[in-house]
Structure 1
Amino acid sequence: MASEVFDYDAELRLHNEHLRAAARVGSGDQVLDVGCGTGLTTREAARAAVDGGALGVDVSASMVARARLLTDAEGPRNATYQQADAQVHGFAPARFDVCISRFGTMFFADPVAAFTNIGRALRPGARMVLLVWQARDRNEWAAAIRESLLPKPPTPTPKAFSLADPSATTAILTTAGFTDVDFTDVHEPVHYGPDADTALDNVLRLLKFDDLLTPLTPAAADRARARLHTTLAAHDSGNGVHFDSRAWLVTARTRSGEAGS
């Protein structure tokens, strides 16, 4: 399974350090991890919450299955997982002290409904800490990789950047019942592998990029892969293949005296 799942943890290692520091998970906290992927952020939160616990949720069955396997192998025992859509899942009310998400909240069909639902699961005054991408034009990886595969790519969907505008995102979170919304700039590179060959395999494992090759003839697909390899090689610093990126670290709280509603 490991070879079939893109290694987001390696790609986002530096971003993850910012998320962990901002979350400030306490020893007795109960933590909700939205879009947990293969569970690294859930396991880290659970290790900090030694007298509490962490629940990771993700819509991907394969990601959740991998998270459970990794946790069975390395612990901790207070990390658990559930395949669920956080937008509509019936969480126990006022259960969690902290909600974290590493690039897992940009794809909601109805973000106000989603964050309202998440807010109901949080206790009064609970913290929420999110990493979300800034605008597409501030993220080198978003254009460079796609354009190397297809010189004239189709207009991409904006979902990955749906929370990029601080004003719009503040309005969403405020409407959903959160307060004290704040944004911190995170300027770190994303990592695709130790060398261009490995990075090529990793990037093509990302379904969205692989799908771009599907309509092409075999010869055209080979040319696209060659262009991508050239782009990746140009970003090989000798310490791995990196692309510039900008993200927001978004923090907020549920209102004191009431869970998010």
Structure 2
Amino acid sequence: MHEVVNTAQLKAWNGYEGTHWVHHQDRWNAINANFDLPLLDAAAIQDGDRVLDVGCGGGATTRLAAATAGRGSALGIDLSAPVLELARARTAGAGITNASFVQGDAQVHALDADTFDVAISRFGIMFFADPVAAFANIARALRPGGRIALLAAAEPAENEWLTALRSLDPLLPTGDFGTPGSPGMFSLADRDTAVSALTSAGFLHVQAECIRAYGIWGRNAAEAAAFLLCSGPGRHLLAGLGPGIQESVREVLTEQLRPYENAGALPLRSTGWLLTGTRGERTPSD
């Protein structure tokens, strides 16, 4: 693997987070799948296009991009070795031959310059230590006029899973977990911050459209609560608590989620910025 600057993310995604996503890949795809169509529509992938999928995870969007690109190709990049192993296995199992994967830190990875027609990401761009540097590196990998269609988590208050977690405040402080601008998944939740970062990185005509979609977090409230508490945010909140308090937290969260149960499924609304733009003739480092 080439240079890495996001070392904390490297450790997390090659440790518990990566293992969690491998074990729960189908669940995460069920949560995020309703964002796929808006993302691909915005990307406007054409037959023969070369697509870069940033923070590709298990490769679901990489495979969709490869299928749309036809005679073209899709390259997924991610920090997580275990997740990429799953992506490669599922891609081979699906008989897809024009999708490939590379382990790397997209902020600094030496991607071939002026190569890709479009870069996409389904919630894989919020964890960079320096978003402008990361977006500039992605811009250099695109040909002049190349397009971006990137999803970033938006509007913390509009995410029902976060509202449910915040119901735990009487038992444990959830703090500023959902504050835009803070490190983590809501780092680009402020629209102006996201647009400014992409513009500073050399993208033109940057637009941000708010997309809301429902995902299935479990079959019922108990299953969804257990999943939320074993995912990164929930696990962080439970760290250091005794078994008795953990069980109380689980019970409170289950009751908070119960009104969302619907015909054997528990859908929750999530929200994201769909960020689009084009690479200019020159990037900031030219």
Same fold, TM exceeding 0.5? yes
Are residue 62 (structure 1) and residue 82 (structure 2) matched? yes
**Matched residues, number:** 260
Moved more, 33-42 or 223-232: 223-232
The correspondence for 1:152, drawn from 166, 173, 194, is 173
Contact between 2:56 and 2:122, CA under 8 Å: does it hold in 1?
yes
- Distance, in Å, in 1 between the alignment partners of 2:56 and 2:200 is 24
- Distance, in Å, in 2 between the alignment partners of 1:74 and 1:244 is 30
Aligned residue for 2:107, secondary structure, equals: coil
- Distance, in Å, in 1 between the alignment partners of 2:95 and 2:278 is 29
> Could you tell me which residue of structure 2 aligns to residue 214 of structure 1?
239
Moved more, 146-155 or 188-197: 146-155
Are residue 4 (structure 1) and residue 17 (structure 2) matched? no
Contact between 1:42 and 1:56, CA under 8 Å: does it hold in 2?
yes
Same amino acid, percent of matched pairs: 39
> Could you tell me which residue of structure 1 aligns to residue 127 of structure 2?
107
Amino acid at match of 2:126: M
> Could you tell me which residue of structure 1 aligns to residue 106 of structure 2?
86
Amino acid at match of 1:80: S
The correspondence for 1:125, drawn from 145, 154, 157, is 145
The correspondence for 1:182, drawn from 207, 211, 230, is 207
- Distance, in Å, in 1 between the alignment partners of 2:284 and 2:92 is 33
Contact between 1:43 and 1:75, CA under 8 Å: does it hold in 2?
no
Moved more, 215-224 or 226-235: 226-235
Greater relative contact order, per chain length (Cα 8 Å cut-off, separation 6+): 1
- Distance, in Å, in 1 between the alignment partners of 2:257 and 2:154 is 22
Contact between 1:34 and 1:101, CA under 8 Å: does it hold in 2?
yes
Are residue 41 (structure 1) and residue 66 (structure 2) matched? no
Gaps of 5+ in 2: 1-18
Moved more, 87-96 or 152-161: 152-161
Amino acid at match of 2:75: L
> Could you tell me which residue of structure 1 aligns to residue 223 of structure 2?
198
Q: State the 1:107 CA deviation.
A: 0.9
Aligned residue for 1:188, secondary structure, equals: strand
Contact between 2:226 and 2:250, CA under 8 Å: does it hold in 1?
no
Moved more, 142-151 or 156-165: 142-151
> Relative to structure 1, is the Cα distance of residues 70 and 201 closer, same or farther in structure 2, using a 3 angstrom cutoff?
farther
**TM-score, length-normalised on structure 2?**
0.84
Moved more, 171-180 or 228-237: 228-237
Contact between 1:140 and 1:244, CA under 8 Å: does it hold in 2?
yes
Gaps of 5+ in 1: none
Contact between 2:195 and 2:208, CA under 8 Å: does it hold in 1?
no
- C-alpha root-mean-square deviation of aligned residues, in Å? 2.0
Contact between 1:88 and 1:117, CA under 8 Å: does it hold in 2?
yes
- Distance, in Å, in 2 between the alignment partners of 1:106 and 1:98 is 19
Moved more, 143-152 or 34-43: 143-152
Aligned residue for 1:220, secondary structure, equals: helix
> Relative to structure 1, is the Cα distance of residues 260 and 96 closer, same or farther in structure 2, using a 3 angstrom cutoff?
farther
